[in-house]
Amino acid sequence: MGDFSLDQIPDLPLDLCVGGAQVPASDGSRFDVHDPATGEVIASVADGSVDDAIAAVDAAAAAADAWAATAPRERSEILRKAFELMRERSDELAHLISLENGKALTDARGEVAYAAEFFRWYAEEAVRASGSVMTAPSGANRIVVLQQPVGICVLVTPWNFPAAMATRKIGPALAAGCTVVLKPASDTPLTALLMAKILEDAGVPAGVVNVLPARRSGAVVSAMLHDPRVRKLSFTGSTEVGRVLLREAADQVINCSMELGGNAPFLVLDDADLDAAVDGAMIAKMRNAGEACTAANRFYVHADVADEFSRRLAERMGALRVGPGTADETEVGPLVNEESVAKVAELVDGAVAEGARVVLGGGRPDRAGYYYEPTVLLDVPRTAGILGEEIFGPVAPVVTFTDEADAVRMANDTEFGLVSYVYTSDLARGMRVSEALDSGMVGLNRGLVSDPAAPFGGTKQSGVGREGGHEGMLDYLESKYVAVTW
């Protein structure tokens, strides 16, 4: 696409998308969207207010009955069309994601392909919301179980995967017959707004999908959660914010799906294929420059192979080309904002102060934008603060171990439990360790676990519920039991 600018997407909405129309904020407020590679303003979008949030719920409520009554096959065909339109516009979407998020184009293209698959998968699932019929054990009646849409859904998505986190929620919600209000992250509203246009072009009726950019996130989301017409919240973001939203959702006893923080351990056992382990580490750590809840956060490497693994990892990470995400040659783009860079720098500096040794990177490059160097830390103490927090940056701290059980204990010693990674040449050993790891997902000899056909989610404080797979649509359905005699 050459030098990319927003002028190349003339149908990109920059206002709120409510009830099938593009409308300004009720009070006229707008906010700027920045390019992380330069810090420069690239667009101004409408800043939704509490009144706008209620208007979006109004629109979703007005469309709810007709959409729930729409034939499953018709909903399926609309989602399939959305999938096809995303593929047709994949280059625009990838460049837009890179521009507002900072991720390298290769990562952005991968995200668009992944995001589109949720529409294809749930186009297929839309016709499979099956209930059941059985005879009561007493023989007195039949037990008929119907699956019905849960109702109006508030979807809150993060900035790190602005397309995929939207489709992973919109897809199953629409397949189930629900209407939605999407509140995208303030750092990356443009991708969500273009998704609204794509869904409109695919035939989604007015009011079924409403997109509400807003800097006033807390007040806007709270207002919707306290509207009795809203029956579902799906949130992807930090555990800290998730706790707040769970408390708010309790006031109206709202059905919640929460995909929260991660602190993924990456275990390299002494019998691991090191070539495969390093390849997997590069994916698990460096996809989206480490700005992923599934990113490998803590590397636990057996002492017998730690030196060789770390050397190879540092060599591979050091060879990555850093630059603006929209440049074709870039492999590591900037982080999303200044706050993110400052946090990563603080974690690395803290680890070094605690005794870690920097063998690659360890600082900010001398250039404009929100960059942090790919970094490898060795001799990281087991008590180092960097091991207890989600880094969300291109930093790999390495800890050594000699005992498998000890490695599993360290891996599980966290409040999070989203995903873990294990590398071993012994499948039985790998399955044993996978079962012992307290996480919702495990990548066994794989650095990538996400798949639209698989249930994505975590244990402990990494979340509630699952997204993706058949399970993902069940979160948007209520089971209604009818006792009947015939």
Other C-beta atoms closer than 10 Å to the C-beta of 272 total: 23
Report the DSSP pairing between strands 255-259 and 230-236: parallel
Cβ-based neighbours of 163, under 8 Å, separated by 6 or more: 86, 93, 97, 111, 112, 115, 191, 195
**What would the two tokens of residue 399 be?**
């800890």
Report the DSSP pairing between strands 180-183 and 209-211: parallel
Active-site annotation holder among 293, 331, 373, 467: 293
CA distances from 86 to 162, 198, 410 (A): 14, 7, 42
- 256 assigned to active site: no
Q: Which of 159, 1, 173, 172 has the alpha carbon at shortest distance from 93?
A: 1
**What's the one-letter identity of residue 317?**
M
Other C-beta atoms closer than 10 Å to the C-beta of 449 total: 19
**Spatial separation of the C-alpha atoms in residues 26 and 281, rounded to whole Å:** 47
- 259 assigned to active site: yes
Active-site annotation holder among 92, 125, 259, 331: 259
**Spatial separation of the C-alpha atoms in residues 301 and 483, rounded to whole Å:** 57
Other C-beta atoms closer than 10 Å to the C-beta of 253 total: 8
Report the DSSP pairing between strands 209-211 and 230-236: unpaired
Give yes or no for a contact between 277 and 292, defined as CB atoms under 8 angstroms apart. no
Active site residues: 259, 293
